[in-house]
Amino acid sequence: MKKFRYKKIECANPDCEVEFIPSRSNQFHCCEACRKRKNYVENKPETDRIRALEIRFKKVDKSLARLYQQMLKMKADKVSKELFGYENIDPFLCNEVRQNPNTNRPIHFFYNYGFEYDGAGFYIIHKMK
């Protein structure tokens, strides 16, 4: 069987200037390290954006947990809009939106905790079950 030989190409990693003969038709990098480095550089902005959102979601979830525990301690059922602003909780930022079957209002969940706006300047905090 005749062995096919590919033409010399330059590595697809812009930081690498090596010319090599690929062993497969879909090989574009001279080595695995170059392939990983190029993919890391290309995906870094998206990865950083997702990581920043994850950190923000965890921070808001911790704030909601703290407020939920305080609500239970004080036997309150609502939290004021001003307190949400003080805790720096963005009401338009969430992981998941569910419908409350009792009130038909949306509940904005982060991870374990979520909130529902009651329309009168107060929020009701819910724990995911």
Phi (first) and psi of residue 61, to 5 degrees: -65, -40
Q: Is 70 a domain residue? A: yes
Which residues in the chain show pLDDT less than 50? none
**Average pLDDT in the chain:** 88
The number of folded domains in the chain is 1
Work out the burial of residue 56: count CB atoms within 10 Å of its CB; fewer than 13 is exposed, 13-18 middle, 19 or more buried: middle
Q: Is 55 a domain residue? A: yes
According to the model, what pLDDT value does residue 82 have?
87
Q: Is 6 a domain residue? A: no
According to the model, what pLDDT value does residue 3 have?
65
Q: How many CB atoms lie within 10 A of CB 116?
A: 21
**Chain segment 109-121, per-residue pLDDT in tens:** 989 999 999 888 8
**HSE, side-chain direction, 13 A CA sphere, residue 2:** 3
Q: Is 116 a domain residue? A: yes
Q: Is 113 a domain residue? A: yes
Q: Is 57 a domain residue? A: yes
Q: What pTM, to 2 d.p., does this model score?
A: 0.67
| Domain that includes residue 69, residue range | 18-127
**Chain segment 11-32, per-residue pLDDT in tens:** 998 888 899 999 888 999 999 9
Interatomic CA distance for residues 55 and 66, integer angstroms: 17
